[in-house]
Amino acid sequence: MKPINQIRRIAVIGSGTMGLGIAQVAAQAGYETLLYDVMEEAAVKGLKTIEENLRIAEEKKKISALQREETLSRLTITNNFNDLVADVIIEAIVERLETKSELLISLALLNDDEETIFCSNTSSIPITQLAKRIPHPERIVGMHFFNPPHLMKLVEVVSGAATSKENALTVYSLAQKMGKEPVMTKDAPGFIVNRIGKMYHTESLKILEEGIAPVENIDHLMEASGFKMGPFKLIDLIGVDANLNVTKSLYEQFHHEERFRPSRLQQQLVDSGFLGKKSNRGFYKY
């Protein structure tokens, strides 16, 4: 167990939209923060995005120039896996069980003190499955941020079958120190938000596939109904590929229930390299 008052250093793995946002809020909360990506140029790009996020926050008077400078002083980037020794390690990599499991196994070998807490930003994979091959599985906790992490307040704190209550509470407190509004949840495919929210995407995609309405109309109608962002704009922001991987994960875990069926149109976009805003084209062109 690692009490909240003993956490000094946080490592975040993956410098995509989620990883860089998590690293930003960790550094803003006062923690020495390491942002890792296997590709050095991706880590550099992630740091530049954080710098831009902080510049915008300063312009909007949400933080001071001193807070921006102090946040950046606490941030380090690396592509050296051996640097990933920390009190809390948060993975934010591709939504695949095998890939995440192999990463956690390697991290456990590198951090063998039994007290390092491993958090997964998975949005659909059960924490129990991720923990089953890890020594001391009581230290595996779900810490699911929402996109973009530096703006969205909600964090789901997920306890697997082996997760200790003490470690879950530490992660809950950590989320609060990051300025978030955490919610405790038990382990289940999609947890709370994605299990409900996935219907926002899958039903919209079915309407598109059936030719009932085009992308722009569906988004406009949903926004006019009170949603802050239409489903296709949201998918493009999340990443067409990332969103599809979550759908596939839920589809498998719910034994091919029709409501979670992945969209062939979405698959075609991914196959074409149209991944949303990050590639300048998805359901929309940017």
In tens digits, the chain (286 residues) has pLDDT values of 778 989 999 999 999 999 999 999 999 999 999 999 999 999 999 999 999 999 999 999 999 999 999 999 999 999 999 999 999 999 999 989 999 999 999 999 999 888 999 999 999 899 999 999 899 999 999 999 998 899 999 999 999 999 999 999 999 999 999 999 999 999 988 899 988 989 999 999 999 999 999 999 999 999 999 999 999 999 999 899 999 999 999 999 899 999 999 999 999 999 999 999 999 999 999 9
**Residues 96 and 20 reside in one and the same domain:** yes
Amino acid code (one letter) for 37: D
Indicate which residue of 53, 120, 123, 204 is catalytic. Answer: 123
Q: Are residues 64 and 94 in the same domain?
A: yes
CA pair distance 144, 186, nearest whole angstrom: 13
Whether 66 and 147 map to the same domain: the answer is: yes
- 231 and 167 housed in the same domain: no
Beta bridge partners of 60: none
Last residue of a domain, one of 165, 186, 207: 186
Whether 156 is catalytic: yes
Please indicate, yes or no, whether residues 179 and 75 belong to a single structural domain of this protein.
yes
Residue with tokens 């390092």: 116
Same domain for 92 and 155?
yes
For residues 65 and 125, state if they share a domain.
yes
Q: Is residue 10 part of a domain?
A: yes
Q: C-alpha 269: how far from its chain's center? A: 22
pLDDT recorded at residue 147: 87
132: which 2 tokens? 């089953």
Last-in-domain residue among 155, 186, 217: 186
Active-site residue identified among 15, 53, 111, 144? 144
Token digits of residue 106: 């390697």
Among 15, 121, 167, 194, the active-site one is 194
Measured between alpha carbons, how far apart are the two ends of the chain, in Å?
46
> Is 286 inside any structural domain?
no
Sheet holding 32-36, edge to edge: 75-78, 32-36, 9-13, 88-91, 117-120, 140-145, 154-159, 181-186
124 is catalytic: no
The region that residue 191 occupies, defined by phi over 0 for left and psi between -120 and 50 for alpha, beta otherwise, is left
Q: Is 69 an active-site residue?
A: no
Range of the structural domain that residue 177 is part of: 4-186
Nearest alpha carbon to residue 22 among 103, 116, 92: 92
Of 158, 39, 153, 13, which Cα lies nearest the Cα of 91? 13
End residue of a domain, out of 138, 161, 186: 186
Claim to verify: residue 119 and residue 212 sit in the same structural domain: no
123 labelled catalytic: yes
Is the overall model pTM greater than 0.85, yes or no? yes
Q: Which of 91, 95, 138, 156 is catalytic?
A: 156
User: Within a domain: residue 283?
Assistant: no
59 and 153 assigned to the same domain:
yes
Into how many domains does the chain fold? 2
- Domain containing residue 94: CATH number: 3.40.50.720
Q: Is 77 among the domain residues? A: yes
pLDDT in tens, 101-154: 999 999 999 998 889 999 999 998 999 999 998 999 999 999 999 988 999 999
